[in-house]
Copies of this chain bind each other. A is one copy, B any other.
């Protein structure tokens, strides 16, 4: 049986992801608050529906890719939400990045109505959404995962079931802690080194092959040296993710002093109007404090 798909949330990430499903021959019914992106997708073969509920009415699998957990709740549980239209045994795959606590709550409510839920947030950003090579971290039941794995494979490359409901969201939060604190670590190192007058590019090449080496270093040092802060991973999106991290950490009573400090740095940068910059703009916070610029010699 070929699964009928619904896709709700056609933003920077959702649009190319839905495209990749259409390209692989799936029937996709779409909904978004932005009418214009709906038109773009219907021109590529998607069917438009007037509400999340209407999407659910005609779909075996409903995928959501939304900016924050409030919107996820409204779309899934609200008045014209998925929960009121979905058939028994329908599968909701929420690919948004939200708190694992909220992912679990939603899963329970959907289960009570005879539906299934997977939390399946992604990493890799817009380029990998377009290429269909996202990393997808999935939480939920293994049988349910097996039923949609070939759908996920149209959008991602590394697809890992990491545990039960909420575990996909937890893995994404862990990912965001590491990425953003690693960027801050790199920023402290670069700013100290720049202040001492060293050629940053030579230093980068001297240390990148050792224990200091990381994907962050290789992706972001060249951007910083070019003074290119075009996202990539936007500061406001990462601020939202770290806010979810701290909420979750508070719920679990886990103190995360470094993450909390990076969250503060993001708030300062947003206050300076830099919310749309790439998160490697963390270095600019340190540059301001130290009165130095990390640039090419």
Contact = CB atoms under 8 A, between A and B. Distances in A.
Interface of A: 100, 123-124, 135, 137, 158, 160-163, 166-167, 170-171, 173-175, 177-179, 181-182, 184-186, 188-193, 195-199, 202-203, 205-207, 209-217, 219, 233, 245, 248-249, 252-259, 261-262, 286, 289-292
20 contacts: A123-B212, A135-B209, A158-B209, A160-B206, A162-B198, A163-B198, A167-B203, A170-B193, A171-B203, A174-B212, A181-B182, A181-B184, A181-B185, A181-B258, A188-B256, A192-B249, A192-B256, A211-B215, A212-B215, A258-B261
Contacts of A202: 160-163
B123 A207 contact: yes
A182 B184 contact: no
Nearest to A291: B253
Given A179-B211, A185-B182, A197 B163 contact: yes
Contacts of A185: 177-178, 181-182, 185, 258-259
A225 to B, nearest CB: 14
B171 A207 contact: yes
Contacts of A190: 174
B216 A290 contact: no
A160 to B, nearest CB: 4
Contact of A193 (B160, B174, B212, B253): B174
Contact of A179 (B162, B212, B261): B212
| 4 closest cross-chain pairs (CB), A and B | A181-B185, A214-B214, A160-B206, A174-B189
Q: Which of A184, A192, A195, A215 has the most CB of B within 10 A?
A: A192
A259 B257 CA distance: 12
Given A197-B163, A212-B178, A158 B254 contact: no
A173 B192 CA distance: 9
A242 to B, nearest CB: 11
